[in-house]
Structure formats: C-alpha cells, structure tokens
C-alpha cells in the first residue's frame, strides 16, 4: 500500500510541475526586439531616435522576451550652459541627443534607454568660474501586454564619464518619478577623475504595471584645475543608460488558472486516497 501511495504522490508532483510549466509559457512572449515608430505609427529602421524626433511624437517599443514596454511622451526638453567666464552658451541641441532602446533580455536590470550626447562642462581655466551644463526632459514608460510584469526598480549606469579635478567638479542627475506616487533621488558624483561604469538604483515604493512618468535633470559642473598638464578640469558624460527592472505580478486570470490547477490536484489526491483505502 505504501508503494501505491508514493506513486500517487509522484503523479501529484508531475501534475504540479505541469501547471508551473504552463504558467511559465503563459507569461513568456516572443523573441526580444527594439523597434522605433514615428508619429504616424510607421516602423522606422534601427533602434534609435533623436530627442527632437521623440518630442515630435516618435516612440520606442522594447519586447524583451517577457513583455513589451513603450517609451513615449518625450517633452519639455531644455539644455543650457555657461562657459568658464559665466557667460551663457548653448547646451545640447535636441537633434544632437540620441536615444537608443536597449535590452539584455533579463528581468533585471531589464529594458531601458541609452542617452548619448555631448554632455560637457568646461573647467575653470583662466576664467573666474567653472562652466556648467544643465539638461532636462520628461518621458513615460508604459507596460504593454502581457501586463503581469511590473516595473520595480530604475537603474542608472554611466558610460564614458569624468568629473573635473579639484573643487567644484560634479555630475548630478536628478530623477523624479510619479505614477501613482512621487519619489525622487539625486545621484551626485564629486570624486574627481573617471567615473565610467558607476551605477545607481532607485527601488520604487510599489511595482508599477501601467505608466511611469519620469523627469530627468542632468547637471554638470567643471573643476578648477584645467591648466594642469595631467589633470583636466572638464566634466563630461558621453552616454548613460536608464534601465527598468521587472517583477512578476500574477494577473487574475493566471491566478485563477493556478487555483484551478491546485483544486484539481487536491481532488485527484482525495480520489487516489479513497481508491487506495478501498
């Protein structure tokens, strides 16, 4: 009788594994892709667009093999600066800032955007003060179907970057996130020298499965040692990545399927026990 019981539990285990595999198949999607669409929803070639195009209604969709995320609603772009004498100078033109969809086909760090441009603030040099540059913009991240993958964390990784030497040099990135809550963080780097690869993470209070509104402000200030032959007062970033980690949040339909599977296994176990006790 004990052997027959073990066989019954083996059958139950097999059914449980089948339900788990089925749920995994339900939550998976097609192969990973990055697509760029214009304001008429026409598919464009490549995986990048300029900030100017994005402000004119273009958007980026990323299918990372789990779900599809849409990056759109780019607005409010501004980029200004000062030279090392305090005079106002132009920042990065909207047509010169490139935004590329990135995807590593993982839940964490997850899909996101790469911002590439001439982020530069001059060192003090012979002027009375160091140069500055301040660039800001807004955009939205929307989780498309299937919606059982929610955003739980926002990651920032610096590309080729350097902070100007001596006092004053800094890179400061302000990130403000709303929907349905508000949370902000400032990633500040004041250590002079190369900061390439530096990463930051901001965990969200609650995973968001609908739309996340993001405001970014990228501020650079040069250092005061531009006259040194071996040390630069220039602060710069060539690019940085913004990624959005995901977490699985079961949909009601998925939970219902799991519940039915569990009830089925319980019923099967009861019938097996009755049969074995007979």
CA neighbor of 103 nearest in space, from 243, 207, 203: 243
* C-alpha–C-alpha distance, residues 108 and 104, integer Å: 9
Distances 253 to 32, 69, 260 between C-alpha atoms, Å: 24, 21, 11
* C-alpha–C-alpha distance, residues 201 and 185, integer Å: 9
Q: Is 250:258 a contact under the CB 8 Å cutoff?
A: yes
pLDDT for the residue 35: 97
* C-alpha–C-alpha distance, residues 255 and 252, integer Å: 5
| HEC readout, 159-183 | CCEEECCCCCCEEEEEEEEECCCEE
Q: Give the count of beta carbons closer than 10 Å to the beta carbon of residue 59.
A: 22
pLDDT for the residue 2: 43
pLDDT for the residue 57: 98
pLDDT in tens, the chain (278 residues): 444 444 454 454 445 444 444 444 444 444 569 999 999 999 999 999 999 999 999 999 999 888 899 999 999 999 999 998 889 999 999 999 999 999 888 888 899 999 999 999 999 876 678 999 999 999 999 998 766 888 988 999 999 999 998 778 999 988 888 866 666 777 888 888 888 888 888 888 788 888 899 999 999 999 987 666 677 889 999 999 999 998 888 654 444 444 445 455 555 555 555 555 55
Domain count, the chain: 1
Q: Is 128:155 a contact under the CB 8 Å cutoff?
A: no
pLDDT for the residue 26: 43
pTM: 0.79
The domain of 184 spans: 2-277
180 burial level (CB within 10 Å; 0-12, 13-18, 19+): exposed
């Amino acid at each position: 009788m004990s052997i027959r019981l073990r066989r019954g539990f083996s059958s139950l285990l097999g059914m449980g594994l089948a339900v788990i595999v089925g749920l995994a198949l339900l939550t998976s999607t097609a192969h990973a892709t990055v697509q760029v669409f214009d304001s008429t929803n026409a598919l464009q070639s490549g995986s990048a667009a300029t900030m100017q195009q994005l402000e004119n209604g273009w958007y980026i969709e990323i299918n990372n093999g789990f779900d599809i995320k849409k990056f759109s609603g780019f607005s409010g772009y501004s980029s200004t600066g000062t030279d090392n004498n305090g005079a106002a100078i132009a920042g990065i033109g909207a047509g010169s800032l490139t935004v590329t969809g990135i995807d590593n086909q993982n839940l964490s760090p997850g899909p996101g955007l790469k911002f590439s441009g001439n982020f530069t603030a001059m060192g003090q040099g012979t002027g009375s003060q160091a140069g500055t540059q301040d660039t800001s913009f807004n955009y939205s991240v929307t989780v498309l179907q299937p919606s059982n993958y929610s955003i739980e964390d926002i990651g920032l990784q610096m590309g080729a970057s350097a902070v100007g030497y001596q006092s004053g040099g800094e890179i400061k990135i302000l990130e403000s996130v709303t929907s349905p809550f508000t949370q902000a963080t400032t990633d500040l780097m004041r250590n002079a020298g190369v900061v390439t690869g530096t990463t930051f993470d901001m965990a969200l209070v609650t995973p968001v499965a609908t739309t996340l509104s993001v405001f970014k402000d990228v501020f650079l200030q040069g250092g005061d040692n531009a006259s040194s032959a071996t040390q630069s007062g220039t602060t710069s970033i060539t690019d940085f990545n913004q990624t959005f980690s995901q977490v699985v949040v079961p949909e009601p339909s998925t939970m219902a399927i799991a519940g039915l599977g569990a009830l089925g296994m319980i019923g099967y176990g009861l019938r097996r026990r009755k049969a074995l006790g007979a």
